[in-house]
Amino acid sequence: MKRFLPFLLSIVLLAGCTPQKSADQPAQVQFFAMDTLMSIRVYNEGGEDAVQAARQEVERLDKLLSRTDADSAISALNSHAGDGTMVSLEPEVTQLLAFAKSVSQLLPGDFDITIAPVMDAWGFTTEERHVPSEEALSAAMELVDSSLLTVDETASAARLEQAGMEVDLGAVAKGFTAAQAEAVLREQGATSALLDLGGNVTAIGSKLDGSAWQVAVKDPQDTGEALCVLSLIDQTASTSGGYERYFEENGVTYHHIIDPKTGYPADSGLQSVTVISSNHMLADALSTALFVAGPEEALEFWRSRDDFELVLCTEDNRVIVTEGLEAGYRPAGEDRGYTYEIARR
Amino acid sequence: MRSPAAERRRPTPWDAVVALAVVAFAVVLIFLLRPTQGSAVTAVITLDGETVAQYRLDQLDQPETLTLNEAPYPLTIAIEPGRICIDHSECPSQDCVHTGWISRSGQQIICLPNRLVISLSGSEAEEFDAVTG
């Protein structure tokens, strides 16, 4: 019997060796807000409260910034367009409006939050998408001019100078929301978290083991595949591309990123732009603006600043990655015909 | 008290039996502790946050369709062994139909007007933590 004792013991000990559970499951929530799908994941232990608090913050901002919610601050601003009233707004709303105006000034003609009437003319807001008539489009284009949006940050008020003008914060709201949600998460003690606000990914801290988050950039031609994979810590990656919201009419594809100069979908030689920045709001706004601007202007703008990096996917399947991303990035689409190059200052 | 075994020089047939039993048991354990089948893929369909259906795509033998007439814009989902797509949707944008088939853990199809999400999860580790785009 004694010689079987070690054997029996080994069985007892081995019984404890069940397969290890998959990596620590984060506290998480997925929900619809700001006309997109959002998810919040917190990897710190006991992150449930932080997740719920961040979700409430997102939903609060959605109510404040939505153009389709008649009770929102933005609807109040829009409804007074042209009547001379300075509309009192929450300080965070005036701050966001002032930021959006500053992007319009940095990249003239590439970005304008008063593009809303044109988006409506194309049916990209709520109704069926369609090519607008020339008359409808030119009437809508008359109303696009963010220099006619007056913002008084001191008084926390704003005014649209012309009747019919409308502001839509779709190109900046998610980045702003990411920053606010991050602040809430950190207040709640979260140090390792991921926000996915409709494809704008904000990496908060690093993974629990200290390594960088691995964030894939979608292949614009095959959205189930990755174009490349980035390593992010405390940064947002925001992508704009014509591939996600579009429609076809008479064999022509029209996407939803409208060039404020023409009123038509931007046709600047890019399939997608991903902006990586520790300034979440900047990443969001620039992804739209630089998609409209095109590859040359985008790189020129990048060379003039040091607060963001870029992944540009051009129409001829070149992927241009700026040098600040070089260390942590890997290409993933060579077998699908993409070529990769590093842009240097 | 000394063990009789300690005095012996040669292994007995009993030792061989023990050795064999240990080896056999090890083989059995390797089999039992293997992670569950490598390619398990589960599709979960949620409508406004509520799970309405769930499929093990790797265990499906033949194609199925699921029609959700209760959705704001009725839609039909096609489910085949290993993959799933939105075949038809009454929604105005059609972005969900444009997404096409998905088959790998971590992939999603979203129909915004319907607040519908099809998510794939599986036993295989996902390659990335998140996707931008």
A108-148: per-residue pLDDT in tens?
999 999 999 999 999 998 778 999 999 999 999 999 999 99
Closest among A257, A281, A271, A273 to A202, alpha carbons compared = A281
| CA gap A216, B132 in Å, rounded | 6
pLDDT of residue B9 exceeding 80, the answer is no
Q: Are B132 and A4 a contacting pair at CB < 8 A?
A: no
pLDDT in tens, B48-104: 989 999 999 999 999 999 999 999 999 999 999 999 999 999 999 899 999 999 998
Map tokens 């932080």 to a residue. Answer: A50
pLDDT at A164 over 50: yes
Residue A258 DSSP class: B
| Contact at CB, A224 and B3, closer than 8 angstroms | no
Contacts of B104 in chain A (CB under 8 A): 224
The alpha-carbon gap from B36 to the nearest alpha carbon of chain A, in Å, equals: 10
Cα angle for residues A155, A34, B52 (degrees, 5° grid): 155
For residues A14 and A242, which has the higher predicted lDDT (pLDDT)? Answer: A242
The tens digit of pLDDT for each residue in A21-37 reads 445 689 999 999 999 99
Q: Hey, is the C-beta of B49 within 8 angstroms of any chain A C-beta?
A: yes
Closest to A295 measured CA to CA, from A278, A279, A316, A326: A316
Asked if A244 and B95 come within 8 Å (Cβ–Cβ), the reply is: yes
Domains and CATH numbers, chain B: 41-126 (2.60.320.10)
Judge whether B128 is closer than 8 Å to chain A, CB to CB.
yes
ipTM for the whole predicted complex goes beyond 0.90? no
Pairing mode, strands A222-232 and A235-241: unpaired
- The shortest CB-CB distance from A196 to any of B104, B112, B130 is to B130
Average pLDDT along chain A: 93
pLDDT confidence of residue A131: 96
Question: Which chain B residue has its CA at the smallest distance from A125's CA?
Answer: B93
For residue A304, what pLDDT is reported? Answer: 97
Residues A86 and A80: their CA atoms lie apart, in Å, by: 8
The per-residue pLDDT for range A2-22, each reduced to its tens digit, is: 666 665 555 555 555 544 444
Residues A170 and A288: their CA atoms lie apart, in Å, by 10
Mean pLDDT of A258-272: 97
* CB nearest A4 (choices: B18, B115, B131): B18
List, in sequence order, the alpha helices (H) in chain A. Answer: 5-14, 48-65, 73-79, 91-106, 116-121, 134-141, 173-187, 280-293, 295-303
Contact B107 A10 (CB under 8 A): no
Cα gap A103→A287, rounded to integer Å:
11
Contacts of B22 in chain A (CB under 8 A): 7, 10
A202 CB neighbour count, 10 Å cutoff: 32
A79-93 pLDDT, tens per residue?
999 999 999 999 999
CB A2, CB B3: distance < 8 Å: yes
- Tell me which chain A residues have a C-beta less than 8 angstroms from the C-beta of B94: 247
Asked if the model's pLDDT at residue A183 lies above 60, the reply is yes
> What pLDDT score does A18 carry?
47
Candidate from A31, A215, A238 with C-beta closest to B130 = A215
- pTM of the predicted structure, to 2 decimals: 0.85
pLDDT for position B28 = 84
Which strands make up the sheet holding A149-152, listed edge to edge?
A87-88, A157-160, A149-152
pLDDT of residue A21: 41
Here the tokens at position A91 are: 């300080």
Distance, CA of A150 to CA of A82 (rounded, Å): 11
pLDDT band at B123 (very low <50, low <70, confident <90, very high): confident
> Could you tell me which residues come within 8 angstroms of residue A183 by beta carbon, excluding any fewer than 6 positions away?
none
- Calculate mean pLDDT across residues A175-203: 97
Cα dist. A16→A11, A21, A115, B130 in Å? 9, 13, 63, 34
Is the per-residue pLDDT at A230 higher than 60? Answer: yes
pLDDT > 60? residue B36: no
Say if the Cβ atoms of B131 and A224 lie within 8 Å.
Answer: no
Q: What is the pLDDT of residue B43?
A: 96
